Amino acid sequence: MESSFVETLYITFKLAFITTVLLLFIGFPIAILLAFKNFKLKTFFEAVIALPLVLPPTVLGFYFLVLLGKINLAFTFEGLVIASIVYSLPFMVQPIHSALISFPKDLIEASYTLGKSQIETFFKVIAPNIKSSIITAIVLTFAHTVGEFGVVLMVGGSIPGETKVASIAIYEEVEALNYSLANKYALVLIIVSFITIFLVYLLNKRITELK
């Protein structure tokens, strides 16, 4: 029982970590594109990215189950990662996008005037000034992935040692009237969530003080 408890938590945080890292590389370019570029169907793409915020998880999970099943990725950890990336995408993109669209344009123009390239301007001017938003996006993505239920259940099927995560484990233990083990899972998630949020507030406070 103890080994399965640890294993389930390991899979939970492994999924959240991998999803967050991949979304950082996927979401950042999307946020930049939406903030600084105008193109046809831009509003459409913004709506598509935000769709997981309002779409019932089981609906998204169902279609992922159908699509991933065709390439033999349903009920696999890899399939969970793909579904989690899409489901958590707005939590990475929107905080960064909001910070970028409100970033002072005169600072960007001043950087260009001094001969800095777009890449240099981004990494030396923009990124350092939106660190708090980047941290917030990372934490929200991680926390949201940890708490996933509907999508994970539909796509992963709760296979022990493969796709079973803590949120599903809590549900299953409650159904089995094993409140003690459900409580252990819940307490771990509460503690991790609190520590994560506390660190975000602490880091953002220090970043603000250094400005």
Q: What percent of the chain has pLDDT over 90?
A: 66
CATH number of the domain within which 65 lies: 1.10.3720.10
Binned at pLDDT 50, 70 and 90, residue 1 comes out as: low
Say how many domains are in the chain: 1
Domain containing 62 equals 2-210
pLDDT at 16 over 60: yes
What was the pLDDT predicted at 181? 94
pLDDT at 210 over 70: no
Interval 139-166: pLDDT, tens: 999 999 999 999 999 999 889 999 999 9
Q: How far apart are CA 130 and CA 37, in angstroms?
A: 19
Which of 177, 156, 181 lies closest to 12 in space, CA to CA? 156
Which of 34, 153, 154, 39 lies closest to 94 in space, CA to CA? 34
Interval 178-197: pLDDT, tens: 999 999 999 999 998 888 88
